[in-house]
Structure 1
């Protein structure tokens, strides 16, 4: 039955190609949409995940990293005095006005980081040295944002105006793309304090490394007792930020709808192809049943065709998705095709093919051997 099924499918070239294109399109659309969703999640919480820490201490009521409030000067000593605290690091994350070299005014997200290892930012720089950002009013931008800031010539010789102060680009990062439309300006903690007018012992966040992760619950409980502070684990703050930017913004729903639409298109195309093949060969299939073919063998007629379409279309769709990922990387879009995303996407394609074949299987199970005489 396998040979008969595959020969019948490939003989009908027009239908075969139409079904193959449908599965390829559905696989590509589903994988790319899921990859974009995962990319949005990672971009939305990139700052938190890169900086790390066991717990983040912030102003009470803070929902996402970009919407923090300055903490009072005495909060560092309070956090450091808690049992089990190994190290406290300051982090500034806030929106700032930036005047580009072209003279236009825009918003950027300023990130100032007090690191444990002496590096000025929690990302690797592709140009410049992290230590250079410790110099007064030195910043780094992402190499994908050079055109955004209207920089001409060597970007390491460029200057920008941040919060009314002239800063100098001393480093270039790569791949640090925010979910929102406000690119990152990275600098040292002291520079960030100076740019936003904070005192020496003020910040937006205290990132805490604990001696023992088992102390996290008790540490957070003590911080929550403070009237002005709240604490979140790094993982919890990541989830809340992702939900805010991706979930509440509707991006997740839109991407899920597009992926579902692609799967539905694939189901219709593949289902129509398989059903047409069964209807066109009813007499031949009835003859096989009349000479002793079992229902299981007749179902195999559809199963082998479904398997061939699924393998070829799924493989082509995966390859096309990887190509789309490379083509969109230069556009600031991040398509994350991790093993988990690929398994989930291909699993959806298997389910799509199974659903598409149900009508044909039902027709075969009801097939009467007397059809051969009609």
Structure 2
């Protein structure tokens, strides 16, 4: 007789409700793990889409994603002449708000030069930027359709293309516009500010400024050697794609990952306590049945196995419910939920370990039950 399955069969409603409650807790924990992995995926999505092999920035800085610094626009031509570089393109990057009909969209706006490195490679609908000014390519999370218009600065921009999965490390959708449009939005002074600058003798200054230059290399060129060549120019620094990816993973996205990881640990601890209480209650509800097993000579390992089996069944059923819930709703999350086989396997192993450890208290209580309790009234 399998006491665990018999108890579940006779109390099926209570068991299913309990599994649902545990499943909700585990679903939240799975969501935290998925969002933590999604933060890294989002941080690296842009660099992978741009297919940049080298990032040239101001000396002493760590790239446009970590610091908002500027370099002259003519740096692009200097980088393009470096041995090993096949093509170079200037980019600007800033966070801005766009006015769409009935709402305000917060996005990270990137300016690039069509035909040069900097354009997104994963356009899912429409086209990339052409020769016309005041066009934009937006990620689908911005909620803009093809042909939709938004107001940025004093100009209206028309959506000509859509990307998928390109968001900033903070979760804002990425929007791509012409470099010249972006430079005017970011660096050109407003008329009142320009008049004040002129009155003070500072002048308006040039808008031929960029945040970084990205480069692609000839086949066989060593990115580290090319970067070292550029670093010899004391006013510039260079990061390889591997260095930029490591920076995004460890610096820009690290704090969010640590916070999500701590929250996941707390959730798993709470889940473990709840599973322990549930299993202990279920074990005490079967006091007479366990005493009867002892009375007929059942060994301790059989009783321990029954309690452990019920704990594992509860944990596995709750895990399956939580996993099904997350996969059903993860596309509705504002952040990417990246749950792959590796993350699911690790979480499953954690849940099984928690159930096995938490069942020890109930097993100890079951083994202390007196066989004479089976003869009580």
The alignment's TM-score, normalised by the length of structure 2, stands at 0.78
Q: CA deviation at 1:72?
A: 3.0
Task: Tell me the secondary structure at the aligned position of residue 338 of structure 2.
Answer: coil
In structure 1, what is the equivalent of residue 174 of structure 2? Answer: 184
Shift of the 267–212 alpha-carbon distance from structure 1 to 2, 3 Å rule, reads same
In structure 2, what is the equivalent of residue 151 of structure 1? Answer: none
Q: CA–CA distance in 2 between the matches of 1:104 and 1:212?
A: 46
CA contact (8 A) 2:138 2:159 kept: yes
Task: Tell me the secondary structure at the aligned position of residue 159 of structure 2.
Answer: strand
Task: Tell me the secondary structure at the aligned position of residue 230 of structure 1.
Answer: strand
Q: CA–CA distance in 1 between the matches of 2:18 and 2:166?
A: 40
1:160 equivalenced with 2:151 (yes/no): yes
Shift of the 8–168 alpha-carbon distance from structure 1 to 2, 3 Å rule, reads closer
Match of 2:132 among 119, 132, 135: 135
Q: Within 5 A, what are the aligned runs for 1:76-115?
A: 76-83=76-83, 85-95=84-94, 100=99, 108-114=107-113
1:235 equivalenced with 2:242 (yes/no): yes
In structure 1, what is the equivalent of residue 20 of structure 2? Answer: 21
Q: CA–CA distance in 1 between the matches of 2:26 and 2:68?
A: 40
CA contact (8 A) 2:90 2:213 kept: yes
Shift of the 81–118 alpha-carbon distance from structure 1 to 2, 3 Å rule, reads closer
Q: CA–CA distance in 1 between the matches of 2:171 and 2:52?
A: 26
Q: Deviations over 1:76-108 (max 9, x none)?
A: 35434444x242331413226556367999864
Q: Deviations over 1:88-131 (max 9, x none)?
A: 331413226556367999864321335778994333142x322x
Shift of the 246–119 alpha-carbon distance from structure 1 to 2, 3 Å rule, reads closer
Task: Tell me the secondary structure at the aligned position of residue 237 of structure 1.
Answer: helix
Q: CA–CA distance in 2 between the matches of 1:351 and 1:255?
A: 21
1:217 equivalenced with 2:217 (yes/no): no
Q: CA–CA distance in 2 between the matches of 1:117 and 1:233?
A: 18
Q: CA–CA distance in 2 between the matches of 1:77 and 1:267?
A: 60
Q: CA–CA distance in 1 between the matches of 2:285 and 2:311?
A: 17
Task: Tell me the secondary structure at the aligned position of residue 156 of structure 1.
Answer: coil
CA contact (8 A) 1:140 1:186 kept: yes
Q: CA–CA distance in 1 between the matches of 2:306 and 2:30?
A: 29
Q: Which runs of 5+ in 2 are unaligned?
A: 189-205
Q: CA–CA distance in 2 between the matches of 1:134 and 1:120?
A: 13
In structure 1, what is the equivalent of residue 309 of structure 2? Answer: 304
Q: CA–CA distance in 1 between the matches of 2:29 and 2:47?
A: 28
Q: CA–CA distance in 2 between the matches of 1:304 and 1:181?
A: 42
1:268 equivalenced with 2:259 (yes/no): no
Shift of the 68–360 alpha-carbon distance from structure 1 to 2, 3 Å rule, reads same
- Backbone CA RMSD of aligned residues: 3.6
Q: Which runs of 5+ in 1 are unaligned?
A: 148-153
CA contact (8 A) 1:54 1:213 kept: no
